[in-house]
Structure 1
Amino acid sequence: MRPRLLPAALVAVTALLAVKLQGILSPPAGGPQGLALVAPAQASSHAPPAKASTPAAAPAPPPQARPPEPPSAEQQAERALLEGLRARRSELEAREQALAARELLAAATEKRLGQRIEELAALQQRLQAFDRTLGEREEAGWRQMVKLYEGMRPRDAAAIFDDLEMPVLLQILDRMGERKAAPVLGAMKPERARTITSELARLRARPVD
């Protein structure tokens, strides 16, 4: 009998412990939810009233800048001196630039004048050479004409000389030899011979260029 009672007693004890444990663990009526509902209500009843929202404060105006102080007499004098020095420097630079421009212009003018002088000198040389050539040709023509009249008989030459223009006749007689010219002058008209003799003397009295 005792061995059978032991298991039954263990089952009864186990059941009793389970019931007690369930009673301990199970919440009371209303449980946590009820507690949760009561706590906010109590908190709301004891909370202080909310303050009305205050408007934002206007920003403070910026500090006013102080007006600049007028320059002192020393500063004004220094500024005037600096301005005078700047003006003087500008004037000197302008004069220097003008002087440099004049020097350049003078150099260019001198160069052009030098070139012009060289051109004129070359032209003069060409003209002198041309004059010499022309004079030589002219002299050759006169010599040929003189030779022609010297080969003629004095009477025939005198007949031509009586009607020949004075400048041409002077050039011919001036180049003729005295021995050839004397017979021709003797055969000419007396008045014509006297005139040509006077003009020929005046021509030979002129200074040679």
Structure 2
Amino acid sequence: MAKFLVGKVLIGGLVITAFAKAAVSFPELATGEDLPAITGPAIVLAAGEEEKEPEGPVPAEAPPPVVAGLGDKVGMCETPEEVLRNLAKERSLLEEQREAMNLREAELTLAKEKLGIEKAALTELKGSIEDLLARVEAQQTEDLDRLISFYKNMKPAEAAGIMDEMDIEVTIMVLGTMNPRTAAPILAKMTPVRARAVSKIILERGQLPGDQDLTGIRLN
């Protein structure tokens, strides 16, 4: 190994001596004129060394990027006939939609008119029912006033005898509407059972339905 290193040193010294003599004999070489330009890094090999091949495969240059879908769009331009045909289709579709909207609007207008007619009919029916109820109530009031007038003109004992056998609801209605001064003598002449029932019902009817207590009432 020592001999190999000594050989390399001697060869290097000889090379330097040769370059020095050439520089003296040919000064234009020392200035670097007329020499080709070095475009890459120069590799100086020592004596006895060989140039080595690069290990592994040399990477090739990367291909240019491919734009996805770029080739699919080639030749897709519509012709004038296709453009006119598409416009005609769109115009036809818009016309169909316009007709459908007009039909829907007409249906809504008709339904609104029907609702207005039905509302007017219901309002008229409501008015008729209210008028009928008012007439019935007025007739009942008139009949009740006439019935009360009949019993007022009777003797208390006679009126009490009739009310003992009368429907309890009618008795309560007559005595409840009659002036207390007129009803008191009639109530006094009624049977005790009937008088207690009438008094209890008149007292409880002023209460709410949930608060009324009509248990234990005897009518006869």
TM over 0.5: yes
Give the structure 2 partner of residue 141 of structure 1.
143
RMSD value over aligned CA atoms? 2.5
Return the alpha-carbon distance in structure 2 between the equivalents of residues 206 and 183 of structure 1: 29
Q: What whole-Å deviation, never above 9, does each CA across 1:121-166 have from its counterpart, x for those lacking one?
A: 1222122122212211111111000110111111111111111112
Correspondence for 1:174: 176
- Which residue among 84, 87, 106 is the counterpart of 1:85? 87
Is 1:190 matched up with 2:192?
A: yes
Query: After superposition, where does 1:42-121 map in structure 2 within 5 Å?
Result: 73=75, 76=78, 78-121=80-123
Larger RCO of the pair (alpha carbons < 8 Å, separation 6+):
1
> Which is further off, 95-104 or 138-147?
95-104
Shift of 1:176: 0.6
Query: Residues 174 and 88 of structure 1: is their aligned pair in 2 closer, same or farther, counting only changes over 3 Å?
Result: farther
| Offset of residue 90 of structure 1 | 2.3
TM-score with structure 2 length normalisation? Answer: 0.54
Q: Secondary structure at the match of 2:154?
A: coil
**CA apart distance, 1:85:** 3.4
Counterpart-to-counterpart distance in 1, 2:169 and 2:90: 76
The whole-number CA distance in structure 2 between the counterparts of 1:165 and 1:181 is 17
Q: In the TM superposition, what is the alpha-carbon distance from 1:179 to its structure 2 partner?
A: 0.6
Q: How big is the shift at 1:180?
A: 1.0
Shift of 1:206: 6.1
Q: What code does the residue aligned with 2:150 have?
A: L
C-alpha distance in structure 2 between counterparts of 1:202 and 1:87, whole Å: 82
1: distance between equivalents of 2:83 and 2:208?
79
The CA distance in 2 between the partners of 1:151 and 1:182, in whole Å, is 14
Question: What TM-score do the two structures reach when normalised by structure 1?
Answer: 0.57
> Which residue identity does 2:146 align to in structure 1?
Q
- Structure label with greater radius of gyration: 1
Q: Which runs of 5+ in 1 are unaligned?
A: 1-72
1:82 CA drift (Å)? 3.9
* Cross-structure match for 2:164: 162
* Displacement after TM superposition at 1:87 (Å): 2.9
More helix per residue: 1 or 2? Answer: 1
Closer/same/farther in 2, CA of residues 171 and 80 from structure 1, 3 Å limit: farther
Percent identity reads 25
- Please state whether the residue corresponding to 1:152 is helix, strand or coil: coil
* Letter matched to residue 132 of structure 1: A
Partner of 2:44: none
CA–CA distance in 2 between the matches of 1:159 and 1:95? 85
Matched position secondary structure for 1:86: helix
Residues in 2 aligned to 1:205 and 1:198: alpha-carbon distance in whole angstroms = 12
Q: Which amino acid aligns with 1:154?
A: P
State the alpha-carbon separation in 2 of the partners of residues 80 and 174 from structure 1: 95
1:151: which partner in 2?
Answer: 153
**Which of 133, 136, 142 is the matching residue for 1:131?**
133
SS of the equivalent of 2:205 reads helix
Instruction: Give the gaps of 5 or more residues in structure 2.
Output: 1-74, 210-220
